[in-house]
Amino acid sequence: MTNPESCRYAKSHEWVCLEGDGAVVGLSDHAQKEITDVVFVELPKVGRKVGQGEAVAVVESVKAAFDFYAPVSGEVCAVNEELSSNPALVNQSPHDKGWFFKLKPSVPGEARQLMDHAAYQEFLKTAAH
């Protein structure tokens, strides 16, 4: 379980949580509520090198598809295989069982430039959507 309050957030609603020299990423609670009914998640392959802000995964609801952008740069070292059989975990447990993938960050300090939990909550209040 990643603690939502210790995660960092991108404006495109992905969270990243640093764990040792690795990082876990997923979709924010706010975003999963907006999307509702996640029925499919396409994840990147292990070993893929991704750049911050790169579209690396696709989240699909019944109605629409949404790009998932890597919140930090790095190499994908594990993906949440559970999501292929049970994509609803993104809705049920966005910060725990619904994580997307783990990566080894390649650019130190990138995560710290993202919003912290308080700033993200403030962002949600002011963001037009």
Partner 1 sequence: MGMNTAEAARRTALYGLHRSAGGKMVDFHGWELPVQYSSVMREHHAVRRACGIFDVSHMGQVEITGPDALAFLQKVNSNDAARLQDGGAMYSHLLNERGGVVDDVIFSRLGPKRFFMVVNAATADKDFAWLLKQAEGLDVEVENRSDYFGMIAVQGPLAARILSDIVPEAEPLKRFGALELELYGRDALITRTGYTGEDGFEVIVPNEISPRIWETLRASGASYGLLPCGLGARDTLRLEAGYLLYGSDIDNEHTPLEAGYGWVVKFSKEDFIGKAALEKQKREGLRRKLLGLRLSERGVPRAGAPVRFGEEQMGVLCSATFSPTLQAGIGVGYLSQPGLAAGAKVSVELHGRRIPAEIVPVPFYKSKSLGDKK
Interface with partner 1, residue 65, by CB under 8 A: yes
Among 5, 37, 96, 122, binds partner 1 (CB under 8 A): 37
User: Would you say 28 or 61 has its CB closer to partner 1?
Assistant: 61
Size of the site for partner 1 (CB under 8 A): 14
How much of the chain is in helix, strand and coil states, percent to nearest 5?
25, 35, 40
CA distances from 7 to 15, 23, 52 (A): 6, 10, 16
Type and span of the H or E element at 19: strand 14-19
Which residues share a beta bridge with 59? Answer: 41, 66
Choose the binding region for partner 1 from 6-14, 16-24, 79-87, 109-117 (rule: CB under 8 A). 79-87
**Which residues make up the interface to partner 1 (CB under 8 A)?**
36-37, 39-40, 42, 58, 60-63, 65, 84-85, 87
